[in-house]
Amino acid sequence: MIGVEAGLSDEQVVILLDGVPRKKAEEAIRKAKREVAKKKLWKTLSAFLNENGKPSGALMTRRRVAWDGRPWTLDEETAARNPYEPDKWKERKKEVFLSIDEGGEGERGYTEVVIVFDKSGSTQEDVADGKRVIDFEADAATAAVALALEMRKPVTIVPFSTEASEMSFGKNYVDATQFLLSMKPEGDTELETAVEVVKDRKRALIVILTDGFVENPEAVYEKLRFLGKENRVVMLIAAKDANRRENITHQIAMDPNPNVEVYLVGVSGLEKFALSRFREMNRQPF
């Protein structure tokens, strides 16, 4: 649905669907949003595949193709050669597949992937071509979901601003992606509240995405250090100016043996950097 893909609000799409009963319009919007999430996750998985130069386990998949709804089993080599042209993909004779909606049962490395996602008001700011900071954060967060799918690990998302909450998606990776794409900026950047939510995790990969305007940096720093003793913590700070040094970055950079990886990344390069870093983590599990 063009209106959904263009980022219009639900109410705006309903108005554009003039003459369509509201209940039917809302159901069409719901389905369209899920298809947008599937396409987004699929493209991100393709990026993992292209950089690796070899087929990804997650791309040997039976998939409900968004543009015609027909179940396929795919030949991974033809999918790799033409990742954005599904009409060129060949069917596999032998049905060896994983589901893009729910991953397989492999067990290695991390217990789960936890995405701590900054949706504070400052992420509303436009960066380029109408794309906001929060949109770039969502791109990087989807890379973390792709990593979870690749490793067959459950996903939990902790959105935060003035307050923090927790949403567990298990291995429902499309649902997780759809949730990320639905985030609306609001409130302050209270990262400390989000860290408190995840403090009891063990052996998890915890990915923190923020624009860096952190309240109480000293307290946050101490909690991140503690969290890093039992988990792998990676913090990506989206900066419109990559030379900018936010307060929390200073705090962690000055520690000679940090338990937390912190990267300050130009906001437009956030997804590319995240893909690269998460790919390394996939090769070197916890």
Q: Round to whole Å and give the CA distance between 141 and 129.
A: 20
Bridge partners, residue 62, by sequence: 73, 99
Q: Is 73 helix (H, G, I), strand (E, B) or coil?
A: strand
Q: Do 165 and 187 touch, CB atoms closer than 8 A?
A: no
Q: Round to whole Å and give the CA distance between 240 and 156.
A: 27
**Residue 201 identity:** R
> DSSP class of residue 64?
E
Q: Do 201 and 224 touch, CB atoms closer than 8 A?
A: no
CA 89 to chain centre: 26
Helices (H), 152-216: 173-181, 191-197
> DSSP class of residue 110?
-
Helices (H), the chain: 2-5, 10-16, 22-52, 76-81, 133-151, 173-181, 191-197, 217-227, 247-253, 270-283
The domains located in the chain, with CATH, are 2-96 (no CATH), 113-283 (3.40.50.410)
- Burial string for 224-257 (b: 16+ CB within 10 Å, else e) reads bbebbeebbbbbbbbbbeeeeebebbebbeeeee
- Predicted TM-score of the model (pTM): 0.72
Q: Round to whole Å and give the CA distance between 275 and 94.
A: 30
Q: What is the dihedral of CA 40, 43, 44, 46, to 10 degrees?
A: 160
CA atoms within 13 Å, Cβ hemisphere of 67: 5
pLDDT in tens, the chain (286 residues): 444 444 545 454 444 555 555 566 566 666 777 888 888 888 887 787 666 544 444 443 333 333 233 334 555 566 666 655 655 656 544 333 334 444 444 445 789 999 999 999 999 998 877 789 999 999 999 999 999 988 889 999 999 999 999 999 999 999 999 999 999 999 998 999 999 999 999 999 999 999 876 777 888 888 888 898 889 999 998 877 655 555 666 667 666 656 788 888 888 888 989 998 888 887 765 5
**In sequence order, what are the residues at sequence separation of 6 or more whose Cβ sits closer than 8 angstroms to the Cβ of residue 167?**
156, 157, 158, 159, 179
